[in-house]
Amino acid sequence: MEEASWVQHTYHVLNNSERVQRLLFDMEAARRGFRSTFDHKFLKPYELALPKVAPALNDLHALVSDNPEQYKNVDSLEDEVNNLLSYWNELDHTLEQQRFEQNKSITETEALMMDRVRAKISLVNAEERRLLALRENYKNESFSKAVRALLINNAFILLVGCILMWVTYVEFKRRLRAQKALNLKLTEVVDLNEAANERNWMLTGVNKMNDSLQGVNSRGELVHSALQTLTTFGEFAAGAFYHFNEEANHLRLEATVNMPAAVAAVVAIDEGFVGTAASNPDLRVIRGVPPSYWQLSSASGNSVAGELVLIPLWVDNELLGVIELASFQPVTPLQIGLLEILKKDIAVAVNAANAREKVMQLLHQVQEQKEILISQQEELRQSNEELSRQSEVLQASEEELRVQEEELRQVNTEITVKNYALEIARNDLSQKAAELEASSRYKSEFLANMSHELRTPLNSVLILAKMLQENKDKNLTSKQTEYAGIIHKSGSDLLHLINDVLDLSKIEAGKVEMNFEAIPVSEIMDDLSDLFEVVSQEKKIQFIKTIAPDVPTTLFTDKLRLEQVIRNLLSNAFKFTPAAGVITLSWYMINPDTLSISVSDTGGGIPADKQALIFNAFHQGDGSTSRKFGGTGLGLSISRELMQLLKGSLVLDNSSPAGSTFSITIPVHPGADAIVATENTLEYTPSPSPVPAISDDRDNISKQDKLILIIEDDIHFADILRDFARNKGFKTIVAHNGQDGLAYARKYLPAAIILDMNLPVIDGKSILKILKSNEDLSKILVHVVTAADNAGIGEDNVHGYTRKPLQLPDLEAVFTNISARIQAGLKKVLLLSAGPQSADAAIKAKSEERHLETQYDVAAGMPDARQLLAQKKYDAVIMEISAELKLDTGMQQLETLTSMPETGDTPLIVYLDQDITSSEEQQLKRYAAAIVRNSALATDRLMDELELFLYKLEKKEKVEYPETPGIATVLSGKKVLLADDDMRNVFSISALLEDQGIEVLTAADGKEAVQTLQEHPKLDLVLIDIMMPEMDGYEAMRLIRADPRFQQLPVIALTAKAMAEDRVKCMEAGASDYIAKPVDNIKLLSLLKVWLS
């Protein structure tokens, strides 16, 4: 009996160790489920098992207290379990700091600690099994000894005799009962052993299943691995997993093992065995599967499964899927018990996989939204950069004269002498180049600061010469006006020279910013071809252009600056190459990251002693007084500096007399960002044109006329086109050759051109190239009328094409097309009317009087405005706020308009017929680009603002039409204070203003200007120079603005410093506007008109 109790004791120890292990397995699974989803409901098994661990260990301690070695093993096991629980407890305290990507590290640490626990449990179990074996052996030996003792006792009883029979009988019965009891105990031990084996088998299955579920990310891989384990370990013939699709409310086959191909892929709920099993969380065994059910096949034949096991997977009353297992043999209770245990683990794992997929989908969605946000931010950044670039281009166009394409042709005697003296000085100081290089930056800054002293004398020269050339008093002879024109032209040439010098100084001072962007190579080549093809034809020079096949289609560079460098090299090549020469423009790759652009010519070449100097500023290859070609010697110096800013280089490859080759190397993708630089535009000046062979309307043109230029060498056909155009309401200009046509296009800027292709002097194809390469001319409508079958022109270069001979319907179609396209090009303005007393009629009339090419749509209220804005894009919006409409209501409507996506960056002008306070005006300025109050000249002021907003980016040098009487009316009788320390400027500007009927007061410095303003507070406007003695313009403007009386007084700053930051300084000091020297007469008068209206 004692031996049997020890055997039972051993099984108790094993059961307790398995109980500890099972509790830890449940806690580990709960922790993993929580880390996968961070859902606290997965911690419920952990929280239920946690208080059971310590009692289980205590029971285990009590059971092994008789065995010191085993007690030591249990102590070690308890230490490992406590370490694991402490680790989990620490994770609980830091739960909020955990991140999804830490799960792997936590899982690995947890698995390592669990392995240690398993090892200790295995050690305890191994010791118990060893004791079990010893005790069973001891029991067997005891049984054998008992049998031998029984035989001896029987022999002894036989010897004693029958007298002891009754004693022996009693004793035998007692021993027989003991034997039965012992056999019963043996049966119990066998049953316990079988139960232990079954539990071990089930635990092994659980371990295998847990191992198969670990390290698998996707649900498909997870369920397939689970099916493999179930069919292999559970001895099932085949298996399948159906995933429940909650949206479609059906089960879809997702994984199979040994299943036939004919198995249904989709099963509806409550349909068939699988669908019916899904509606109940209990495991279901199907016995007697009908022969019509699917069959399992192999190379040896087909067979129907004997029994099916359907395992629905549920977690928290939520169906996840159904596992279907097939078996040829009857399913045993042991298998069912194992499946009951495993279905929970599988369900938890599938649920975790579903949650992981949802998390990954959410992460992917967040990543996509993040990429969309980054893309939108990049688009916004590019839009802001484009707006900044356009703003700088607009500012530059207002502050600087346009840079001419051709170099200066003639320099007056004084400049020639100075250049010659400068050349001699440079030759004398060539040996000190190294010392001068260190001081070059100081020279550049000095030149930039000297712009005031250089531009100030030119200001008087240009203004007075222009006034003399206009000869308004008609007291000069034609020869005298011609002299004045020459003076103005020479002064302009001198100004361009100064601009080149200052341009170089800006580069050397590091004040030039680059605008890097993706530019198609073909676009650069087209621009250069359009610019130099005509020159090559006129000079009879062969112009060859080659692009290697490996040259990329797109460069990331500053297109403006790169074209400027290549244009300079080509201009030099065409200048120094004689007729019948060859100029080659080649593009090829030096290496995968570097592009080379070379310009070669067959001119006279560059002497060896000049090659080291040609890149120096003001140096020319031929510096003699009898040199054949003009120029400043700045082109190559500026080009070299620009190439350094472009992260490239410019070098001379070969020497004279075999011509010259200049090579540019530039990276395809430079690793730097740049800011938009000021654009330079090239001008084309056609030669004077002869008197036309037939009469046209050139002497009878007004601004409101729709003008068509007819370039046709057939006089009779030109006559027909002219008459037909007049019948259609057009005024006409007629040219009989390409040269005259280009001249008239430049001078008159017609609304449309009717162009023949076969023209004398310059053919139609060349004219198209020139038109499309010029910013001002590219917007003119061109309709080609030619007799050629194939004019060789692209559809993008013209707006219409008609082949000769023409019939009357053809002419109708031509002019209908032109009229429609002109109408489409009108500026569209939305006028939000104030009601019956609206000024819309007056506004339209004034617009027609001012010849603004505008089309007005009138909205009677906000609903009409919303409808019109949704239908078309407007260039400007004018909103009337009348006395009938409360100002608060008007502001609400303004806020609504500005918040509409259709308005975007559309300028909004407010037209008021009531007085408002300064605070109300500030509120209006939050929404409106301009505010015009009702007055005698309100519509003129409104037209001025509208013209600025509509055409500020499209300034064109149109023919000077007779000036409307409005400007004289606005300026006449006004009183203006002019503050400048240079009497030449005072004289010239005063003469210009007094000629417009303006009374001019003058001051020699800022201090005197402030005093004069105090003495004459009724002044209408102040023109003030920046650089003056005693008190400069900045300080003077601050003092003026400090006086409350002059806070609204228009103050225009005059400065020869044309840097972008100078405008900012002027505006911060209190200037209302800004104009750069030399002052342009028309621009100054226009500015005065805006501020004095």
Contact residues for 746 (Cβ-Cβ < 8 A; gap 6+): 684, 685, 686, 776, 777
In this structure, what is the dihedral angle of CA atoms 875, 911, 1047, 971, given to the nearest 10 degrees? 80
What's the pLDDT band for 953 if we cut at 50, 70, 90? Answer: very low
pLDDT on residue 1033: 92
Q: In the predicted model, is pLDDT for residue 857 greater than 50? A: yes
CA 573-579-581 angle, 5° bins: 60
Question: Does 826-952 match 707-823 at the fold level?
Answer: yes
Q: Tens digit of pLDDT for each residue in 53-64? A: 888 888 888 888
Q: Sorting pLDDT into bands at 50, 70 and 90, what band is 837?
A: low
Assess whether pLDDT exceeds 90 at residue 1013: yes
pLDDT at residue 957 in the model: 37
The CATH architecture annotation of domain 975-1092 reads 3-Layer(aba) Sandwich (3.40)
Q: Phi-psi bin for 150: left (phi > 0), alpha (psi -120 to 50), beta? A: alpha
Q: What's the whole-number average pLDDT of the chain? A: 76
The per-residue pLDDT for range 484-508, each reduced to its tens digit, is 777 777 777 677 667 666 666 666 6
Structure confidence by residue, pLDDT tens digits, 403-445 = 555 555 555 555 665 666 666 766 666 666 555 555 555 565 5
Burial class of residue 474, CB neighbours in 10 A (0-12, 13-18, 19+): exposed
**Is residue 600 helix, strand or coil?**
strand
pLDDT above 80 for 315: yes
Residue 1031 scores a pLDDT above 60: yes
Domain 826-952, architecture per CATH? 3-Layer(aba) Sandwich (3.40)
Where in the chain are the domains?
A: 2-140, 217-295+302-331, 513-619+632-667, 707-823, 826-952, 975-1092
Question: Has residue 798 got a pLDDT over 90?
Answer: no
Specify the fold of 707-823. Answer: Rossmann fold (3.40.50)
In words, the CATH class of domain 513-619+632-667 is alpha beta
pLDDT classification of 355: cutoffs 50, 70, 90: confident
Give the side-chain half-sphere CA count within 13 A for 903.
21
Report DSSP letters for 580-591, one per residue. Answer: T-EEEEEEEEEE
pLDDT at position 617 is 53
d(CA 958, CA 911) in angstroms, rounded, equals 29
What value does the mean pLDDT take over residues 468-482?
79
Asked which of 426-435, 456-465, 548-557 is least confident by mean pLDDT, the reply is: 426-435
Mean pLDDT across the stretch 124-132? 74
Q: What is the reported pLDDT for 458?
A: 65
Residue owning tokens 């310059």: 762
Residue 325 pairs in a beta bridge with 239, 309
Lowest mean pLDDT among 169-178, 321-330, 955-964: 955-964
Instruction: With beta carbons less than 8 A apart as the criterion, state whether 53 and 24 touch.
Output: yes
pLDDT reading at 513 higher than 50 = yes
| pLDDT above 90 (res 994) | no
The DSSP-derived string for 396-458 is: HHHHSPPPPSSPP----HHHHHHHHHHHHHHHHTGGGHHHHHHTHHHHHHHHHHTHHHHHHHH
Q: What is the mean pLDDT of residues 91-107?
A: 57
Q: How far out from the chain centre does Cα 490 lie?
A: 48
Residue 43 scores a pLDDT above 90: no
Q: With pLDDT > 90 as the criterion, what percentage of the chain qualifies?
A: 8
pLDDT band for position 630 (50/70/90)? very low
Digit-coded pLDDT (tens) for 563-583: 888 988 888 888 888 888 899
Tokens coding 378:
């990049």
- Rounded CA gap, 562 and 1073, in Å? 34
What gap in Å lies between CA 343 and CA 239, rounded to an integer?
14
- Res. 686: pLDDT tops 90: no
- Backbone dihedral angles phi then psi of residue 46, each to the nearest 5 degrees: -65, -45
Q: For residue range 876-893, what is the model confidence (pLDDT) as tens digits?
A: 888 887 766 677 777 778
What average pLDDT does the segment 446-470 reach? 65
Q: How high is the pLDDT of residue 689?
A: 40
Per the model's pLDDT, the better-predicted residue between 312 and 888 turns out to be: 312
Among candidate residues 11, 19, 14, 20, the one with its CA nearest the CA of residue 78:
20
Mean pLDDT of 981-1008: 85
- CB distance 1058 to 399 below 8 Å: yes
250 CB-contact burial (10 Å; exposed 0-12 / middle 13-18 / buried 19+): middle
The model's pLDDT over 254-280, given as tens digits with 9 standing for 90+, comes to 888 877 766 777 888 888 788 877 788
* Mean pLDDT, range 362-374, rounded to an integer: 83
Average pLDDT over residues 836-857: 66
CATH hierarchy code of domain 217-295+302-331: 3.30.450.40
Contact 868, 878 (CB under 8 A): no
pLDDT for 660? 84
Distances 134 to 7, 128, 137, 138, 398 between C-alpha atoms, Å: 9, 10, 5, 6, 109
- CA 105 to chain centroid: 37
CATH topology of domain 2-140: Four Helix Bundle (Hemerythrin (Met), subunit A) (1.20.120)
Which of 221-230, 289-298, 529-538, 692-701 shows the lowest mean pLDDT across its residues? 289-298
pLDDT of 433: 55
Q: Can you tell me the mean pLDDT for 150-157? A: 78
Burial per residue of 503-536, b for 16 or more beta-carbon CB atoms within 10 angstroms, e otherwise: bbbbbbbeebebbbbebebeebeebbbbbbbbeb
Q: What is the pLDDT of residues 334-350, one digit of tens each?
A: 878 878 887 888 888 88
Angle formed by the axes of helices 840-849 and 938-951, to 10°? Answer: 60
Asked if 985 contacts 456 with a C-beta cutoff of 8 angstroms, the reply is yes
